[in-house]
Structure 1
Amino acid sequence: MPVPDLMTAELTLTGRITTASNATFLGGIGDTAVVYKPIKGEKPLWDFPDGFLAHREVAAYLISEAFGWNIVPRTWLRDGPFGEGMVQLWQETDPDQDAADLVAADDVPETGWKQVLEGQDENGRIVALIHEDTPALRRMAVFDVVVNNADRKGDHILEMADGHRFGVDHGLTFHSDHKLRTVLWGWLGEALTAEELDGIDRVREGLRGELGRDLAELLTAEEISSLAARCAALRATARFPGPRGEMPAVPWPLF
């Protein structure tokens, strides 16, 4: 049986993710399971007025590819049952893993985890937001700084059975103003590794060539300029930044 062309073969819908803020469908292209977010189903956002969220999702994939870290599943633009939209390869996660979690404050593991903050749950108990201390999640945190991710919720991290971590839902990215909101603050102030710095260098080099030309079809010139500036600033400090400005440091809800 021939392999279907993911750009042109029929995209059929099999379900809808009703918890998503914008229209999000499960579907298939032949035997390949995908997520489909039509541009017509996007809700206007006052703080992201330029372009479409679908374009930002594809731009995030291009940055992931430039890093070489496979953070974002393959993502592309194509036509579908409700018009042009973002299509992304579906990922089957491991339900027994949680890369980020809320636990009782006195149950925070001593090793292998980073604590981000403490707060009270609906029953008044003190709980802690924690996440894994792993190279895979560190790379995602670096990626989020570069793309200026305003919505890295815990459930936007996909835990794969082999330990790989995918990041999804990147519509709120690439704003020219500082918008970083994430649950991955555990490495605040720590020095970046040589591997992480090399990844930033690959993105910077790409922006001067094919990557920059591809992003020009998806983002504004100001957004691309701000992207380059974030890369340069992160490379110069070589450390994970901390929250700044009046923006909340974490998204809400957290998950």
Structure 2
Amino acid sequence: MSGRELMLLAEGRVDLIARIPRSSNATFLVRVSWNGESAHAVYKPESGERPLSDFEPGLYRRERAAYLLSEYLQWGLVPPTVIRDDPPLGVGSLQWFVACDYREHYFTLYGDEPQTHGDLARIALFDVISNNTDRKSGHVLRGHDGRVWGIDHGLCFSADFKLRTVIWDFAGNPVPDALLVDIAPLAEEVPSNVEELLYPAEVRALRRRVQRILSSGVLPADPTGMRYPWPLV
């Protein structure tokens, strides 16, 4: 995607269309309009977040941090995401809306579309690095252009290991050398624009997770069989 998407998200007028159903936190489909153009986006206001015992308020910041981390790695897994303080319901994240066939998700892509396995394994690695606590099958989308995306990263980056995901099919597989090269700098330093959105302990934990992957060279397994989100889709 180009800078046009980020400009629309960052500068456009935000108009509410509807609340997106079946979301734990209040999530809205909106239209952003700027300079004669408009597009759909997903708006997650802090005011709509359900209080959690293990995450501080401000999950929208983690949505932005996941996007910035994906961009730093040049993986392009997370749709463009910005933070705005002026939308109708207050400060929150705006993420570019991915148009896709919503009958498709991780389970269907893995089972029916072997050509997506490389992208899916890369998402699995991203989830380990970002400590994703909520990788449901429906959080993996394939756009109409065939591109595979990961969405919904509000429950990432905890300092405590909380990985919960449906993507265990690649457990124990070697991480391709090119991806190890991509993540290696994170073992020493996290980009400042990601770091400023997280707590210091979370930044240190991110570096440690990367160090473990570099040391093992493989995607981790779940010996407990319990590290799944609910619902699965």
TM normalised by structure 1 equals: 0.80
Structure with the higher fraction of residues in helix conformation: 2
Given the alignment, which residue of 8, 11, 18 partners 2:11?
8
Structure 2 match to 1:175: 158
Please show how residues 1-255 of structure 1 align to structure 2 within 5 Å: 5-30=8-33, 31-48=38-55, 50-79=56-85, 80-95=87-102, 97-101=104-108, 112=114, 134-204=117-187, 207=190, 211=191, 213-243=192-222, 248-255=226-233
Instruction: Give the number of equivalent residue pairs.
Output: 223
Contact 1:24 1:37 in 2 (8 A): yes
Deviation at 1:195, TM superposition (A): 1.9
Contact 2:107 2:137 in 1 (8 A): yes
Q: Give distance in 2, aligned partners of 1:143 and 1:12.
A: 32
Q: Give distance in 2, aligned partners of 1:195 and 1:33.
A: 34
Deviation at 1:15, TM superposition (A): 1.2
1:89-143 Cα offsets, whole Å, 9 max, x none, are 00101346443149xxxxx77x93xxxxxxxxxxxxxxxxxxx861111110000
Q: Which has the larger radius of gyration?
A: 1
Q: Give distance in 2, aligned partners of 1:215 and 1:52.
A: 14
1:63-109 Cα offsets, whole Å, 9 max, x none, are 1111211110001100210111010000101346443149xxxxx77
Contact 2:62 2:157 in 1 (8 A): yes
Structure 1: state its 5+ residue gaps.
Answer: 103-107, 113-131
Deviation at 1:163, TM superposition (A): 2.9
Alignment-mate amino acid for residue 200 of structure 1: I
Structure with the higher fraction of residues in strand conformation: 1
Contact 2:106 2:138 in 1 (8 A): no
Q: Give distance in 1, aligned partners of 2:82 and 2:72.
A: 15
Contact 2:49 2:57 in 1 (8 A): no
Q: Give distance in 1, aligned partners of 2:126 and 2:230.
A: 20
Alignment-mate amino acid for residue 60 of structure 1: A
What percent identity do the matched residue pairs reach? 38
Q: Give distance in 2, aligned partners of 1:221 and 1:247.
A: 30
1:171-191 Cα offsets, whole Å, 9 max, x none, are 110011110111110111111
1:55 match: secondary structure: helix
2:93 match: secondary structure: strand
1:220-246 Cα offsets, whole Å, 9 max, x none, are 0000000011011111111011126x7
Deviation at 1:28, TM superposition (A): 1.2
Q: Give distance in 1, aligned partners of 2:8 and 2:147.
A: 27
Contact 1:77 1:86 in 2 (8 A): yes
TM normalised by structure 2 equals: 0.87
